[in-house]
Amino acid sequence: MTTREGGNGASTTARATLTRIRTERPLHLLALLISVGLGLALSWLHWIGLVVGGVLVGLVARNLPKALGYGLGFGLVVLVVFAFVLGSGRGPALEMAPAIYLTVGAALGLPILGSLARGIV
């Protein structure tokens, strides 16, 4: 067996698993919840977690438009969690005009950028 044939078998298995996750509703919802949770955890540690979270939610989507929607949804979840974490500091944070624009733009744009990975896979 050549290396190419061995890689092809693993690729077939991965594609079959992704297809199953994308088509079977219970598996899809579980994978989506795990992706959002993992993405939130990574976003808590570093901003690149927003992109990784977008990639994760995008990979479980059936097609590219849904992946973009999942990326936007993930970004909105991140913003809501961020607002709750701020607590009473929400008011002063909203008054910081340039910084809040960057925060909202990054929270919405970076997961969408990551979800574009669905177009490749």
Query: Are the CB atoms for 35 and 53 separated by under 8 Å?
Result: yes
Q: Which two tokens stand for residue 10?
A: 């693993």
In this prediction the pTM is: 0.84
pLDDT of the chain along its 121 residues, tens only?
444 555 577 788 988 999 999 999 999 999 999 999 999 999 999 999 999 999 999 999 999 999 999 999 999 999 999 989 988 887 787 788 888 899 999 999 999 999 999 999 7
